[in-house]
Amino acid sequence: MSENRREGIQSEHGFVVKERAHVQIHGMTEVLSFDENNVSLATTSGNMNIEGSELRVNVLDVKEGTVTVDGHIDSIYYQDSEPTAPSRGLFGKLFH
């Protein structure tokens, strides 16, 4: 098992958004931080951020690796923990 996966947590990560007001996530390994504008989670697929307003963590089951967030959801994105390689630009891509 990888270090991100604890016993009992679903190995597959996924989420379902309903009406931009409710998101149910599985495959969560840790809640990194949360406030009314941002929820940051570690998942089995990398760090996940939910941005919006009036966000609330309503259901949290660490053993099962599930979390439910309600509020106005503006965006959901993943943040890689490792920096990506610098862009080579157009000429770097053409003449590699």
Mean pLDDT for each consecutive 10-residue tract of the chain (96 residues)? 48 92 95 96 94 96 93 94 55 59
CA 84/CA 7 separation, integer angstroms: 30
pTM here is: 0.73
Supply the pLDDT for residue 5. 43
Supply the pLDDT for residue 25. 96
